[in-house]
A and B are shown apart, each in its own frame.
Chain A
Amino acid sequence: MGRRIINRRPGKGGALFWGALPFLAVLVLYVTFSALRLAENPNDKLLPAFSTIADTLHRLAFVPDSRSGQVLLWADTASSLTRLGLGLVVSTVIGLVLGIGTGLIPYVRAGLSPFIAVLSLIPPMAVLPILFIVFGLDELSKVVLIVIGIAPFLVRDMAMRVEAIPSELVIKAQTLGANTWQIVTRLVLPSVWPKLMDSLRLSLGPAWLFLISAEAIAAQDGLGYRIFLVRRYLAMDVILPYVAWITLLAFLMDWALRYANRRLCPWLERGAS
C-alpha cells in the first residue's frame, strides 16, 4: 500500500527540484515565445530576446544617461528606496506609538480606536489627489501616501498584539513594582517586536504598490516612474528588468526583516514553544 498523498514528502533535492520547476517553466515559455515572435518579426518589442535585455540593462546600469548625466537604474533605485524607507520608518513609528497606546491604555483606546478604524477604511489611492494638492508633487506626497496606506494597518495590528499579551504577565509586572512606562519598555516592546517585523513584512507589498502608483502619476525619477515612462514606447526591454529588480529588492527587504527578527529575538528559536 502506498502512503496517502498528504504523507508523502519530497527530500532535500526533491524540494529544490520542485521549487525550481515553476521558474524554469516560465523561463522556457518566455524563451520559446520570444524566439517565435522574433522569427516572425525581428522588430517585435513585446517579448525581447535576452541579449536585447542584457544590452539595455548594461546601458541602464553602467552608462550615464545622455540627457541627465545620471546612471538611470541607480538614480531611480536611490530615489525609490528613499521614499519607501521614509514611508516605512514613519509608519513603523506611528504604528508602535499609537498601537501600544491604544492597546495598553484604556483612555487612549477609547479616544482613538474608533477614529483609526474609520481612517483605515479610506482607500489610500482615493486621497492621492488630495495629497498632491496639499503636499505638492514632490517627495512629501509620495511618502505620505505610503504612510496613509500602511500605518492604519500597523496601528491596528500592534494594538491587537498588545491586547493579546496574557494579562498575567502585565499583572505580574505590576506586582514587581513596574510603572506604566517600564511595562512598555520591558514587557510590551519586546513582546510585540517580532510581530512588528512580521507585520512590516506583510506591509512591504502594499508599500511598494503605493510607491509605484505615486511615482507613476507624478515624479521625475524612481523605479515606478521609469516603468510608466517607457511604457509608451512599448520598451519591454526596460520594463522587464525593472520589474525583476523591484522583485529582488522586495525579496531582500523581506529577508532582512526576517533575519533581524531572528537576531534580535533569540528566545523565539530556543526551547520547545
Chain B
Amino acid sequence: MSRVTVDNLWMEYGDQVVLERVNLDIPSGEFCALVGPSGCGKTTFLRLLLSMEAPTRGTIRVDGEKLSPEPGPDRGVVFQRYSAYPHLTVEENVILGLEFARAPLFGKLWGSAKRQAQDEVASVINAVGLDHAKAKYPAELSGGMQQRLSIAQALVRKPRILLMDEPFGALDPGTKAQMHDLVRELWRAEKMTVFMVTHDIKEGFGLGTRVLAFDKVRVDPDEPQAYGATITLNLPLEDKAERAQVVQL
C-alpha cells in the first residue's frame, strides 16, 4: 500500500515561485503521468517526491506518514540520463541494490552470497530482456537497453513508489513502444504507485491511469516569477480496465 497525499505544497527558490497550492490524493497503485509545458515544475515535483529537495510549504505523506527527508529504498527512480553505473556490468548494476542491503561494510558480496544474489536478479534481468547482455557495460548498450537496465536496477529493492523523469524521452518510437509494454507489465506485477514525467501527452494517456497536468493559472506579465504552476487537471482514466485491476481505491 502506498497512498500518496499532497497537502498545500509550495516550492519557492528565493522570490521565484515554482509550484503553488498543489493538493493531491493518489490511491495506491495509480500510474500517474505528469504532463505540461517545459518549466512548469513537473520535474521539481518529482524531486520533492524523491526528497532531493524539501518543499518550502506543505507536506507530502505516504500512507499518512510524512516523507523521509532523504532518498531511500522505498522510492525507486529512473532518470532520463546517467541512469546506470558506467563502471559496473549489467548484472553488477542490478545486484547493487541487494549488495547495499546485505553487505553493510563494503556494499559488495562474494562467493555463495554473490551467487545467490545473481540467481535472485536473473528473473528481473530476464524480465527486461537483458539476459544476453549480462556481462556488458552500460556504454556498450543502446539507449533503450540502458533504460531497461535502469528500470531493472530500480525494481530490485521492490520500491512502493517508482518515480520516472522522462524515462523514454531519448528513445526512438519503436523502442519507446516496447518500453511502454515492459513498464506496464512490471507495474501490473509489482502494483507500485508510479509517477512519470513526460513531454508526450499521448504517452501519458496511453500508459497512465491518471493524468496530472501542470500549468500556471496566474501570470503577472511584469513579474513572471511571482506565480508558480499548479495542477490544473487531475484526471483519473476510469474507463481503463487495468486501473480497476491494479489501483486500490
A contact residues vs B (CB 8 Å cutoff): 166-169, 171-179, 181-182, 185-187, 190-191, 265-267, 270-273
- The answer to whether A176 touches B139 (Cβ under 8 A) is no
Q: What residue of chain A has the Cβ atom nearest to residue B154's Cβ?
A: A175
The interface residues of chain A lying within 8 Å CB-to-CB of B103 are 182
Cβ contact within 8 Å between A267 and B87? yes
Q: Which of B84-117 contact A (CB under 8 A)?
A: 85-88, 96-97, 99-101, 103-108
Within 8 Å of chain A (Cβ to Cβ): is B216? no
Across the interface, do B157 and A185 meet the contact criterion of CB distance under 8 Å? no
Interface residue tally of chain B, by bracket? 35 or more
- B75 interface residue (CB < 8 Å to A): yes
A174's partner among B70, B105, B106 (CB-CB below 8 A) is B70
Q: Could you give 17 example pairs across A and B, Cβ below 8 Å?
A: A169-B85, A171-B71, A172-B79, A175-B76, A175-B159, A176-B73, A176-B157, A177-B72, A179-B100, A182-B103, A182-B106, A182-B107, A186-B100, A267-B137, A271-B137, A271-B139, A272-B140
Query: Contact check: which of B50, B104, B153 meets A182 at CB < 8 Å?
Result: B104
A175-B73, A270-B139 as given contacts; A168 in contact with B79, CB under 8 Å: yes
| B83 with A168: CB separation less than 8 A | yes
- Of the candidates A166, A173, A185, A273, which one forms a contact with B108 in the assembled complex, judged by CB atoms under 8 Å apart? A185
Asked if A178 and B107 make an inter-chain contact with CB atoms under 8 angstroms apart, the answer reads: yes
A193 to B, closest residue via Cβ: B87
Q: How far is the CB of A199 from chain B (nearest CB, A)?
A: 18
Cβ of B134 < 8 Å from any Cβ of A? no
Q: Tell me, yes or no, whether B81 is within 8 Å of chain A by CB.
A: yes
The verdict on B52 contacting chain A, using a C-beta distance below 8 Å, is yes
A-side contacts of B104, CB under 8 Å: 179, 182
User: Chain A at the B interface: mostly helix, strand, loop or mixed?
Assistant: helix
Contact A177 B73 (CB under 8 A): yes
Contacts of A175 in B (CB 8 A): 50, 71-73, 75-77, 154, 157, 159
Residues of A within 8 A of B72 (CB): 174-175, 177
Which residues of chain A have C-beta atoms less than 8 A from B139's C-beta? 267, 270-273
Cα(A8)–Cα(B106), bound, Å: 51
- Chain B residues near A271 (CB, 8 Å)? 136-141
Q: What 10 A-B pairs are tightest by C-beta distance, nearest first?
A: A271-B139, A182-B107, A271-B140, A177-B73, A174-B71, A166-B82, A176-B97, A168-B82, A190-B87, A186-B107
A185–B86 Cα distance when bound, in Å, is 15
Q: Does B156 contact A (CB under 8 A)?
A: yes
* Candidate in B76, B100, B153 with the most chain A CB atoms within 10 angstroms: B100
Report chain A residues within 8 Å CB of B106.
Answer: 181-182, 185-186
Known contacts A177-B101, A272-B139, A186 near B96 by CB under 8 Å:
yes
* Bound complex: CA A36 to CA B101 (Å): 76
Mark each residue of chain B from 133 to 168: 1 if its CB lies under 8 Å from any CB of chain A, else 0: 000111111000000000001101101000000000
The residue on B at minimum CB distance from A183 is: B107
B contact residues around A178 at 8 Å (CB): 100, 107
Chain B positions within 8 Å of A266 at CB level: 137
A172 and B77 contact, Cβ closer than 8 Å, known pairs A178-B107, A182-B100, A265-B87:
yes
Q: B99 near A171 (CB under 8 angstroms)?
A: no
> Could you say which residues of chain A place their CB within 8 Å of the CB of B81?
166, 168
- Is B140 in contact with A176, judged by CB distance below 8 angstroms? no
Closest partner residue, chain A, to B107 (CB atom): A182
CB distance from A17 to the nearest CB of B (A): 35
Which of chain A's residues have a CB closer than 8 A to the CB of B156? 176
B52 neighbours in A (Cβ, 8 Å): 167, 171
Residues of B within 8 A of A174 (CB): 70-72
Proximity string of chain B (22-64) to chain A, C-beta cutoff 8 Å, 1 when within and 0 when not? 0000000000000000000000000000101000000000000
Q: Given B83, B108, B136, B138, which contacts A186 in the complex, CB threshold below 8 Å?
A: B108
Q: Tell me, rounded to whole Å, the shortest Cβ–Cβ distance linking B61 to chain A.
A: 19
Chain A's nearest CB lies how many Å from the CB of B74?
8
Measured CB to CB, the nearest residue on chain A to B150 is A172
Chain A residues whose C-beta falls within 8 Å of the C-beta of B75 in the assembled complex = 175
**B77 proximity list for chain A (CB < 8 A):** 171-172, 175
| Residue on A nearest B163 in the bound complex, by CB | A175
Q: Which residues of B contact A265 (CB under 8 A)?
A: 87
Determine if A186 and B79 form an interchain contact, defined as CB atoms under 8 angstroms apart.
no
Given contacts A176-B153, A177-B101, A270-B139, 17 further A-B contacts (CB under 8 A): A166-B81, A168-B79, A169-B82, A171-B52, A171-B71, A171-B77, A172-B77, A172-B79, A174-B70, A175-B157, A176-B154, A177-B73, A177-B157, A178-B107, A186-B107, A267-B86, A270-B137
Instruction: Give complex CA distance A247, B79 in Å.
Output: 48
